[in-house]
Structure 1
Amino acid sequence: MKRNLLAIAIPALLVAGAANASIEVWNKDGNKLSINGRVYALNYLGNHNNGVDGEGDKTTARIGFTGETQVTDSLSGYGRAEWETKTGGNSFKETRYAFAGLNFGQYGSFDYGRNDGVLKAITAYTDVLPEFGGNASDNGLYVLSARTNAVATYRNNGFYGLVDGLDFAVQYGDNKSDSSTKGDSKEAYGLNAQYAILDTGVSVGGGYATTTKAGDKERVKTYMAGVKYDAHNLYLGALYSHSKYDNEKVKGFELVAQYGIDFEVGRLTPSLAYVQHKTDEKKKDQIAKYVEVGVQYDFNKNLTAIVDYKINLLDDDKLSSKVFSTNTDGTAKGATKDTLALGLIYQF
């Protein structure tokens, strides 16, 4: 029974977002309930207002739960929900996750609801920066790369028990108003595959997703590939993304290097990254282009301090109008400015 409970815990945790800790509040008769939460006290410092990153307070609070139940020796059920509230002048409430599913052990799991787009598993290779990063899933120009409404997802870890380290997922979504499936889309399909190469610390992954916009026959297609190394306190990650829509192409790549240094109390992790995404090969319009230098200090699994600095390499005259709001002179609002992020995170 314990093995079966673990079998449903693994796929549930894989789609649980960034929560690194949780509290088990119930575990009896094959039923298990855990809660997780986070308070992220965050502030952006810079010399601009109303830009892409903006300036000032970015504090958020998050709460969620994961439930698991044993039905038979080979069948389990699970569900997850999570909400986040942002403070400050532009406060909002967001349902981050809301899905339920069934787990069939080595035969995989199936769930439906608001969940990560299937390509988010690949963007996660480089979405590890203390604060910034995640541009491949943040800008909405790539299909099924962010959290998405109304998606049905099948996942299998270990390829039906035949190949350790070989995982794959297939996803279908039908939501006409969800921008994370490329704006006003009819239907979206996607898949990914990942392989952890023995005990080397190296993993490779790739994915494909496609959708059609409402009232449009042209399909939007996104391809992604990533590789990472995670061993001996060293983390290296690389991501390549490519999307084509409306006869226009979007390309991007991200590189990240981090090294963990253990102390008697806590762990210090310096971070260095380069991120670039652009659209339209002829005009070379830029979506994101910056160097990140940051550091993260984990006092323990519940308390973390971060300092992250974005050295922006964008030029006003090469910015994509599809992503940035503009000033009266046509330049993007604050999008070319550097930004310093300071934060303290308490999570459980």
Structure 2
Amino acid sequence: MKLNLLAIAIPALLVAAGANASIEVWNKDGNKVDFYGRVKAANNITDRGQKDEGDDTSARLGMSGQTQITDSIVGYGRWEYEADAGKNSDNEVRYAFAGLNFGDLGSFDYGRNDGVLKAITAYTDVLPQFGGDASNNNWNVLSSRTKAVATYRNNNFFGLSDDFSFALQYADNGDNSTTEDSIRGDSREAYGANAQWRIFDTGLTAGGGYAQSTVKGTRHNTWAGGLKYENYDLYLGANYFQSKLKKGSTVHWSNGYQRHRDLKVRGFELVAQYGIDLEVGRLTPSLAYVQHKLKADSMHFNRRNVHYYAPGYNSPMAKYVSLGATYDLNKNFSTIIEYKFNLLDRKDIGAAMNTKTQRGKHENKPGTKDVLGVGLIYQF
């Protein structure tokens, strides 16, 4: 009977969501369960077949829960699912993890979760529609959501300071970076850490982190540092990262061999936003600059005792200025608009990576066009 009532009550609560950020569906005897969700109806408009062109509509639904085990131990869990509704509709379990919180001693959880470096790269992952270039890509170790991660977090340095926090993480064959085996495509284990310091009462937070994965002579590491300033109206964020993929092995075949390039990605991101209270809602203009570069050393081939040398290069992967705004009509409904001024040259490696298809007069002119993103968001 109770299960039948829940089956009726939960969908009704999801439809009738009020002004809260989530819906509390259970809170009794030390047990609490919340539901939350978001529907984003958005479109990215450009005159070329770039990677993220077109419909970007999606829906998310998640739940979080906790249970009081003892006076000092709390069990918790989170699950979140997203369904894309565009022409290339995909579904994804974004989060699925469970853990224990030991109060001042910190917390430990395991499952699908954010990589430990995302806490730092997220300082600039706040744009209305675009952004997240450093947070969600396969060039950085443990910077995006990934499977099979065990994470220890302490948010108050063992009860000594609420301004200092740190995290340690180990990915058991779960890292989704370019440390993947080129033959089998298997992801590999990795480990990393971060630390953040809220600098007294200045509104400033400084953070840094490091992550690494090593497999069969291939070493991949990433470090990131960032600063953010926030008060009620003004938000400023900046981060810098460097990721190295060092391939120490040589690939042999029947009539020759190839020595791999060592790859390095460096990038920085800057963002500024200012909130303006209006008679109805709140308007937040946004300005950002993003630049990432890929550098490769020279490559040596030997084919039938004839030696070939490919020169290295240093080419932008992402380079743009973003100008946009978010208009929050209330806590549940927002409109977004963002214009990406694409600064990539047609010869840049990022232009080719940014192109999904080439059409008509745009043949041989890959992803260098500007993009306009617009959308409506309902969330609870």
Q: TM-score, normalised by structure 1?
A: 0.88
Aligned equivalent of 1:4: none
> Where does residue 13 of structure 2 map in the other structure?
none
Deviations 1:158-193 (A, max 9, x none): 1001122100000000226x5247434321001000
SS of aligned partner of 1:36? strand
**Counterpart residue number, 2:239:** 239
Does the 8 Å contact 2:281/2:330 carry over to 1? yes
**Secondary structure in 2 aligned to 1:40?**
strand
The separation in 2 between residues aligned to 1:67 and 1:126, in whole angstroms, is 28
Task: Give the 5 Å matches for 1:94-109.
Answer: 94-109=92-107
2-side partners of 1:264 and 1:327: how far apart? Answer: 44
Q: Which of these two proteins has the greater Rg computed from alpha carbons? A: 2
Counterpart of 1:52 in structure 2 is 51
Deviations along 1:57-112, one digit per CA (max 9) or x if unpaired, are: 11001001001000000111000000000112200110000000000001000000
Residues 68, 79 of structure 1: 8 Å contact kept = yes
Paired residues of 1:309 and 1:340 also in contact (CA < 8 A): yes
Residues 144 and 181 in structure 1, CA contact (< 8 A), matched pair in contact too: no
Q: Is the 8 A contact 1:327 1:333 kept in 2?
A: no
8 Å Cα contact 2:48-2:358 kept in structure 1: no
8 A Cα contact 2:352 2:366, kept in partner: no
What is the total number of aligned residue pairs between the two structures? 324
CA distance in 1, matches of 2:322, 2:333: 22
In structure 1, the partner of 2:323 is: 293
72 and 344 in structure 1: CA distance in 2 versus 1, 3 angstrom threshold = same
Aligned to 2:291: 276
CA 181–97 in structure 1, closer or farther in 2 if over 3 Å, else same = farther
Q: CA deviation at 1:126?
A: 0.4
SS at match of 1:242: strand
Deviation at 1:248, TM superposition (A): 1.6
Deviation per CA, 1:102-157, whole angstroms, max 9, x where unpaired?
00001000000000000000011000110111100222101000001000000001
Partner of residue 318, structure 1 = 348
Contact 2:63–2:78, Cα closer than 8 Å, also in 1: yes
2:196 to 194, 197, 221: 194
Pairwise CA RMSD = 2.1
What is the alpha-carbon distance in structure 2 between the residues aligned to residue 245 and residue 146 of structure 1?
17
Q: Indicate yes or no: 2:379 matched with 1:347.
A: yes
Q: Do residues 338 (structure 1) and 370 (structure 2) align?
A: yes
- In structure 2, what is the Cα distance between the partners aligned to 1:144 and 1:321? 25
What residue number does 1:63 align with? 61
Instruction: Give the match for residue 263 of structure 2.
Output: 248
> Aligned residue for 1:3?
none
Find the residue that maps to 1:174 and give its secondary structure: strand
Q: Name the counterpart of 2:17.
A: none
Write the letter of the residue equivalent to 1:225: G
User: Do the aligned partners of residues 80 and 328 (structure 1) sit closer, same or farther apart at CA in structure 2, a change above 3 Å counting?
Assistant: closer
Per-residue deviation, 1:40: 0.2
Task: Classify the secondary structure of the residue corresponding to 1:316.
Answer: coil
Give secondary structure in 1 for the equivalent of 2:134: helix
Change (3 A) 1:299 1:327: closer
Q: CA deviation at 1:22?
A: 1.1
Which of residues 122, 125, 128 in structure 2 aligns to 1:127?
Answer: 125
Amino acid in structure 1 at the alignment position of 2:329: F
Partners of 1:306 and 1:342 within 8 A in 2:
yes
In the alignment, the residues of structure 2 paired with residue 304 and residue 148 of structure 1 have an alpha-carbon distance, to the nearest angstrom, of 29
Structure 1 SS opposite 2:42: strand
- CA drift at 1:197: 1.0
Q: Take 2:73 and 2:178, find their aligned partners in 1: how far apart are those partners?
A: 31
Paired residue for 1:89, among 84, 87, 106?
87
Shift in CA distance, 261/72, structure 1 to aligned 2, threshold 3 Å: same
1-structure distance, mates of 2:364, 2:170: 35
CA spacing shift, 1:47–1:327, aligned 2, 3 Å: closer
Structure 2 segments unaligned to the other structure (5+ residues): 1-19, 181-185, 247-261, 297-311
Give me the whole-angstrom Cα distance separating, in 1, the residues matched to 2:178 and 2:319. 23
CA distance in structure 2 between the partners assigned to 1:334 and 1:81 by the alignment: 38
> What is the CA–CA distance in structure 2 between the aligned matches of 1:151 and 1:333, rounded to whole Å?
40
* Distance (Å, rounded) in 2 between the aligned partners of 1:157 and 1:197: 14
Alignment correspondent of 1:309: 339
Contact 1:326–1:332 at 8 Å: present in 2 too?
no
Q: Which residue of 2 aligns with 1:179?
A: 176
Q: Which amino acid aligns with 1:43?
A: N
Q: Deviations over 1:193-240 (max 9, x none)?
A: 001111110000000000124xx2222010000000001511111000
Gaps of 5+ in 1: 1-19
